[in-house]
A and B are shown apart, each in its own frame.
Chain A
Amino acid sequence: MAQNQDFLVKMKNISKSFGAVKALKNVDFHVKRNEIVGLLGDNGAGKSTLIKILCGVLQPDEGEIFFDGERLDIKSPREARNKGIETVHQDLSLVDTMQIDRNMFLGKEPTKKIGPFRFLDKKRMRQESSRVVGDVGIKVRDPDEFVAILSGGERQAISIGRSVYFDAKLLILDEPLRALSVKEQKNVLQHVKDVRDGGTSVIFISHNVYHAHEVTDRYVILNNGFKQGEILKGDCPPETVSEYVATGEEVDEVLDCSIEL
């Protein structure tokens, strides 16, 4: 069992179909502790289906999921969050028409009891959000501001900050750099490294190798619902990885480009 403890996530033999379309075919996937896994693949490769299964939005037709040493059936996003799996969906992690503090605690709002009733603990929501927002280096006058006024990078940063605040063991980032300026991309990548250094594993979904390359430890490439292969980053140039994604050529064993190891 000690060996098992190296793995935070182990998905075994996962299959999922939508009607006649087989989105995932017997995929094995794992994430080690303190590891950033770059999940690559073209549109329709099965990346988001795999992730949706892991964060509780979809249930697999076949296969088993082990998380943090125990076998799990993740039936809902709420259950996933309670286990420590936080997901930042591209464009979909904050509600524009709500204030920052209301967003920060959405689904996990702190309450205080007054008589038989539970009310939002607004003071705590404000204070904690101010702190998280400050920690990720965003300057807003007030956590009472609406999310609509934030830039894309600020939103990603706040979403990541939120995951850290809720003690995520696993952070899933879906195309986190899309539509961000170069400067904002740098910031977000720094946050991702900080998260990993804080002891959280990360799955970084991208269809662009160059986006993920700076932070990724290991790549997993999906193609047409199959796992095409794994590449330990090491000294692998992004061109090599990109080549595999583009050609769909099978990676026989775990490709290891690192000189040592």
Chain B
Amino acid sequence: MGSNKGDSKNNNKEQPELKEKLLDKIKKQPEFGVVIVFILITTFFTILNPAFIRLNNIAGFLTRGAELGIMAVGIAFLMIAGEFDLSVSSVYAFSGFLFIVIAEQIHSIPAFFLALVVAAFIGFINGNIVIRTKIPSFIATLGSMWAVRGLLLGITGGTSVAYTGDEFMPNILVRYFYRNFRPSHIWFIIIVIFMSVLLKQTRYGNWVFATGGKIEVARSLGVSVNKVKVINFILCAVLAGIAGIIAITRFRVASAAFGRMMELEAIASAVIGGTLMTGGYGTIIGAALGAVIMSMLRSGLVMVGAPSYWYNAFVGVILIVAAIVNLKLMKDIA
């Protein structure tokens, strides 16, 4: 019946059609699901305790949200290319530790970059193991997760190390600048914008989607899929390293147990944000919002007086619900 377009009735029909089209467009945005979840959770906690949306509380959950979010953004970027990285939590801890140790000797700026070079190297190794041996990245990075964590434990002997370096990097990373807001919140936003533009507006981003979507197609059309994967592993590790150094400058102490299980929270953030486990589809902004949601849950549950033990149960439920909603939303795609 759609054939009687273009006649005199067209004018009456134009309005609803346009509206429908717009609604359709919004629904097709990969961030749609996570934005709904975000609004629901905010509303839920605000009704139970209006203090939830006070500036200081927002700043509070953004602090943890930024650290998890920077890691989650890297994970999402790698997952879209069809690979996983479980070693991010170990890289997070190891980079933070390295930063503290190096900053004892030299200025904190080169210390920051040196620690990230090591993180990049771990990402490079991860990527090369995966493309050369063809073992699943889940296994490869499960191994490197333990290896790097073990290295950290071995070096520190399980003791914690306090920060004794200068204040330059701590200041530009985490020192309060307005109420409880920290520069890390802004760095987080900058990183999200950068990674999102890289994914959606550049040739490289197109290759990332294709590599994770159907690797044979990408290869036959001339995309260097192995290069894409290695670069994404490196980016993912570097972002985990940045997150780790931010957290370390906040706590001012590194311990070997730092950031354990955070890799799963980061993957959960990406999935809540609409990234497909199978690759080829996902969004940076979604992953970032997913991480903020995780952090909101922690803060919200405390504020409504629930024992913090309930956090894990909540995360579990939200993860499953979000995954189902996202899958339903994109059933015509996958």
Residue ranges of A at the interface with B (Cβ–Cβ < 8 Å): 55, 57, 76-78, 80-81, 87, 89, 92-98, 102, 105-109, 111, 117-120, 122, 146, 148-149
Contact = CB atoms under 8 A, between A and B. Distances in A.
Given A148-B332, A148-B334, A106 B223 contact: yes
Contacts of B221: 77, 81, 93, 106-108
A120 B332 contact: no
21 contacts: A77-B220, A80-B222, A92-B214, A92-B216, A93-B220, A95-B214, A96-B213, A97-B281, A102-B206, A106-B206, A106-B217, A107-B207, A107-B210, A107-B218, A107-B222, A119-B202, A120-B202, A120-B203, A146-B333, A148-B332, A149-B332
B332 A97 contact: no
A143 to B, nearest CB: 14
A55 B221 CA distance: 10
A76 B220 CA distance: 9
B222 A96 contact: no
Contacts of B202: 111, 117-120
Contacts of B220: 55, 57, 77, 87, 89, 92-93
B13 interface: no
B45 interface: no
A185 to B, nearest CB: 22
Contacts of B222: 76-78, 80-81, 107-108
B203 A92 contact: no
Q: Which of B210, B221, B332 has the most CB of A within 10 A?
A: B221
Interface string B299-334: 000000000000000000000000000000000111
Nearest to B281: A97
Contacts of B280: 95-98
Interface residues of B, number: 27
B332 A95 contact: no
Ranked nearest first, the 3 interchain pairs of A and B with the lowest CB-CB distance are A78-B222, A95-B213, A97-B280
Given A89-B220, A106-B218, A111-B203, A98 B332 contact: no
B115 interface: no
Interface string B95-136: 000000000000000000000000000000000000000000
Contacts of B276: 97
Nearest to A89: B220
Contacts of B218: 95, 106-107
**At the interface, is chain B mostly helix, strand, loop or mixed?**
helix
B209 interface: yes
Contacts of A105: 206
B334 A97 contact: yes
A97 B213 contact: yes
A214 B240 CA distance: 58
A102 B333 contact: no
A38 B197 CA distance: 45
A93 B212 CA distance: 14
B334 to A, nearest CB: 6
A94 B217 contact: yes
Given A77-B221, A77-B222, A119 B216 contact: no
Contacts of B205: 120
A146 B217 contact: no
B27 interface: no
A57 B201 contact: no
Contacts of A107: 207, 210, 218, 221-223
Nearest to B200: A120
A146 B24 CA distance: 13
A179 B216 CA distance: 19
Given A89-B216, A97-B276, A106-B221, 16 more contacts: A55-B220, A57-B220, A76-B222, A77-B219, A77-B222, A81-B221, A93-B217, A96-B280, A98-B209, A102-B209, A106-B217, A106-B218, A118-B203, A119-B197, A120-B203, A146-B332
Interface in B215-256: 216-224
Nearest to B332: A149
B198 to A, nearest CB: 10
B76 to A, nearest CB: 14
B219 A96 contact: no
A77 B219 CA distance: 7
A57 B210 CA distance: 17
Contacts of A92: 214, 216-217, 220
Contact of B217 (A78, A95, A111): A95
A34 B139 CA distance: 51
A78 to B, nearest CB: 3
A102 B199 CA distance: 12
B284 to A, nearest CB: 16
